[in-house]
Structure 1
C-alpha cells in the first residue's frame, strides 16, 4: 500500500502546477510553497537553537495549538516555534496577524519522501506536535525513524475513522506517535481497542483559548454604547442556511439588538439578508451611529470571538452546511449557544457535550429555534444555562499545562 501512496503523490506533485491554472485554491497551494526550502534555510540560520515544530491543518487546529504555543513561549522564551499549515485558509490569516509567539510560519510540503527528508534536514526540530489530525504517513514515519519526540494533541477520534476500520498502512500513522493527548474518554477507548496504550486524556485546549479571550476581550466602545441596556443576540459565522431560519426570528424580536457576523464577507448575500430583515440595519464598515438601528452586520474579520462578550444568547452557524463553527467561543463567556442540527455528531463532540451540560441547544428548523429562544427568555432557565457554561469551561481548563508538563517528562 505504501508504494501506491508514494506513486499517487509523485503524480500529484507533477500535476499540481498544471491544475493550478484552473483553480484559485490550488494556485494558492502551489504559489505558497515556492521557495519554501530557501526560506526555511534562511529562517533556521537566523533562529538557531532548540526548535518546536507544530503542524496544523488549518485555522481551527491552530486555535487549538495556540494555548500550548503561548505557554511554551512563556516558560521557554528561548525556544523557537515553527508552525506549518496545509491549507491557505489557515496560513493566510495567521501570517497577517504576525503573532509574537511564532518565530516562523510556513506551508507543509507534499508528503513525498524527498520533500520530507529535505524539510527535516533543514528544520532539525527537537520536538514535533501534530494537532488533531492531518496525519501524513511519510512525515510521521521519518520523524519516528529519526527518533524525534513526536506527539499528537487535541486528538478526538470516531469509530468510523479509517484508523479503527483498517489495519496496516491505514492504522500505522497512530503508532508513529510517542504519545497521544486526547480530548475525551471515547478517543482513549478507541486507541486502547487497537492496542495503542501511550495516551492521556487532558481535555480540549480550546477551553484554555476561549477562557483567555473571555478574560481579555477586544474593546468595542461604539458597540457597547449602541447596545446600552438592551439584550443582545450575537449570530456568529452564519451561512445562508442559518439565516433562512434566523431572519423570521429577528423580525419577531424587535426589542433585542442583533450582531450578525457572517462566515463570508461577500456583500451580495449580506445585502439580501438586510433586505429581508424588517428592523433598521446597518453595516459595521459604513456605520452611522447617529442613525437608529437594531441590527448591525459585522462585515469585517477578526472581531467575532470578542463580540460574544455582549451576547445574552448566541447562535453559531455552519451545522446545516459544511460543518459547525466554534461554539466554545460564546460558552467561554458563559453565554448559552444555539446551533443547527449537526449532521455528523461524532465530528463535533463538543456540541453533544454542550447539550448534555445544558448550555447548548440544537435546532433543526424555525419552529424549534423559536421554542429554544422562548425557553431562554425565562430568567431562571437562562441563568441555569449560563452557570452550566461557566462550570463546563472551568472544569476543562489546564489542558495546555498538562501537555507541556507531560511532554517535558517524557523526553
Structure 2
C-alpha cells in the first residue's frame, strides 16, 4: 500500500509540475529537460567501452557538496567515465556544461519503468547519492542489479519519515545502500537505532570544497576595484526578506561600508527590487561594471549588484562581513563559503537551526541570527568599533573550517579499498 501511494504521489507531482510549466519558467525547464533524456543517453552510451560512475545531486548545493568526491574519484580512478544527474533545474541549468563530468543530465522521474530504462542504458559500475536524495525505484533497481550504492554527506533528523512508525518503505531503502557516510554523530546514532549498520561518520565534504575554493585564490578584478580598500559586506544568495532587513539596517549606518549583493534568483524583477530597496546607494550591476574602463569611476559606486551565477563563493574573499540569505523563510544557504575566509556571518533567525554548521558557529560566537534591522546595525557597529573582537572572530571562523577538513579522504579511502575487490 505504501508503494502504491508513493507511485500515485510521483505521478501527481509530475502532473502539477507539467501544469505549472505553462506559466513558470523553472517548471518549464524541469519538464522540457526530461523530454529527451533516454534518447540522449542512448546516443552517448554506444558502445560502452569504459566503466561508468554515476553521481546524483538534487541541486546546486548538493553538487558543491559532491564535487570534492567527484574530483578525487576521477583522480584515483581515471578509467571511469562520470555521469552526473540533477533533479532540479537550478542545479542542471548552471552545471550542464561543467567539465567535471563526461555526461550531465536530469534524473528522470522516479517510476519503475524510468529507473529500469535508465539503468539499462547507463549500466553504472557504482552509484553515489549526495546528501538527501532517496528515490525509491532508482535505489531499489540499482540494488537489484548488484550495483554498489553509496550515500555521502548524508544527514538525518528524528523528524524524518525513516524514523516514524509509518516509514517502513523508506527504511527499507536505507538497507539497499552499500554504505552511508554521515555528517554527524546524531545521524549515525539514528541510523543504527533502526538497524542500519553499513554506516560511518565522515563529516561534511563541503568543508573540503570551500577550502579548495580558498586555495584556488580566484581573482575577480571588478570586485577588487569596486572595493577600493574599503570595508565591505557580501550578501550572498539573498531573498527579498533578507534585502528588506539589510537595507533598513544600512540606510543610516554611521560608518563607510560597501555592499556586494548576489541574489539567489537572477531576474529583472529581483534586480529592480534590490535597486529600489537601496535607493540611497549608488548601485551598479556587474554586467554594467564590465564595460567601464575607468577604475576610479567603478570605485565611486557603493553597491555592486551581481547579475550572473557562479562567482559568489569567490566574492566572499573581498568581504569583511557576510550576510547569507534564506534564514528568514527558505532555509539557510551555505555559510561555510564566507566562514573559510574568516569574518562575522549574519543570517535570518527563523530557518537556520537545522543547519548544524550554523548552530555550531553561533555557539562559537562568530555567526549571528538577526531578528530585525536594528540587530544587524548594532552588530556591525560593534565590530567596526572593536577591531580585536573582529580579528578573533575571523580567526575562529577559519579554525572551525580547518578542524572539519578530511571528509573526502575518508570516503576515498573506503572506495579505494572497496573497488580494489570488485
> Structures share a fold, TM > 0.5?
yes
How much does 1:333 deviate?
Answer: 1.3
Partner of 2:235: 235
Displacement after TM superposition at 1:132 (Å)? 0.8
1:380 aligns with 2:382: no
The CA distance in 2 between the partners of 1:374 and 1:209, in whole Å, is 32
User: Match for residue 183 of structure 1?
Assistant: 183
Pair 157,280 (structure 1): closer, same or farther in 2 beyond 3 Å: same
> Any conservation in 1 of the 2:234–2:260 contact (CA below 8 Å)?
yes
Could you say which residue in structure 1 is the equivalent of 2:135? 136
Alpha-carbon distance, 1:164 to partner: 0.8
- 1:203 is matched with which residue? 203
Q: 3-state DSSP class of the match of 2:157?
A: coil
Is the Cα contact below 8 Å between 2:327 and 2:352 reproduced in 1?
no
Q: Equivalent residue for 2:375? A: 368
Q: 1:47 to 1:220 in 2, by over 3 A?
A: farther
Q: CA deviation at 1:91?
A: 0.7
Confirm or deny: 8 A CA contact 2:148 2:178 kept in the other structure.
yes
TM-score (norm 1): 0.93
CA distance in 1, matches of 2:29, 2:172: 31
Unaligned runs of at least 5 residues, structure 1: none
- Quote the residue 2:28 is aligned against: 27
Distance 2:110 2:226 in 1: 51
State the Cα deviation string for residues 335-382 of structure 1 (Å, max 9, x = none): 221111133622x22211111233211111112212322332211211
How far residue 19 of structure 1 moved from its aligned partner, in angstroms, is 6.2
Superposition TM-score, scaled by structure 2 size: 0.90
Give yes or no for contact 1:54–1:129 (8 Å, CA) kept in 2.
Answer: yes
**Structure 1 residues 233 and 168: alpha-carbon distance in aligned structure 2, compared to 1, 3 A threshold:** same
CA–CA distance in 1 between the matches of 2:383 and 2:233?
Answer: 12
Q: Which moved more, 1:165-174 or 1:53-62?
A: 165-174
1:293 maps onto 2:301 in alignment: yes
Residue of structure 2 equivalent to 1:99: 98
1:253–1:304 Cα change, 3 Å? farther
The equivalent residue for 2:362 is 355
Question: Residue 384 of structure 1 aligns to a residue in which SS?
Answer: helix
Residue 81 of structure 2 corresponds to which residue in structure 1? 80
Shift of 1:86: 1.0
- From 396, 400, 409, give the equivalent of 1:401: 409
**Cα shift at 1:17:** 5.5
Are 1:64 and 2:65 an aligned pair? yes
1:329 matches 2:331: no
Q: Residue 45 of structure 1 corresponds to which residue in structure 2?
A: 46
Cα distance, 1:265 vs. partner? 2.4
Change (3 A) 1:2 1:322: same
CA distance change for structure 1 residues 221 and 5 in 2, over 3 Å: closer, same or farther? Answer: closer
Deviation, structure 1 residue 14: 7.3
- Measure the CA separation in 2 of the matches of 1:372 and 1:402: 38
Residues 112-134 of structure 1, C-alpha deviations (whole Å, 9 max, x = no match): 11211111111111111111112
Map of 1:5 onto structure 2:
6
Deviation at 1:211, TM superposition (A): 0.7
TM-align CA RMSD:
2.1
Q: 1:34 to 1:386 in 2, by over 3 A?
A: same
Task: Summarize the alignment of residues 201-280 of structure 1 with structure 2, pairs less than 5 Å apart.
Answer: 201-251=201-251, 252-277=253-278, 278-280=280-282
1:305–1:410 distance in 2 versus 1, CA, 3 Å: same
Size of the alignment, in residue pairs?
Answer: 408
3-state DSSP class of the match of 1:345? Answer: coil
Question: Structure 2 unaligned runs (5+)?
Answer: none
Whether contact under 8 Å (2:234, 2:319) holds in the other structure is: yes
CA offset at residue 25 of structure 1? 3.5
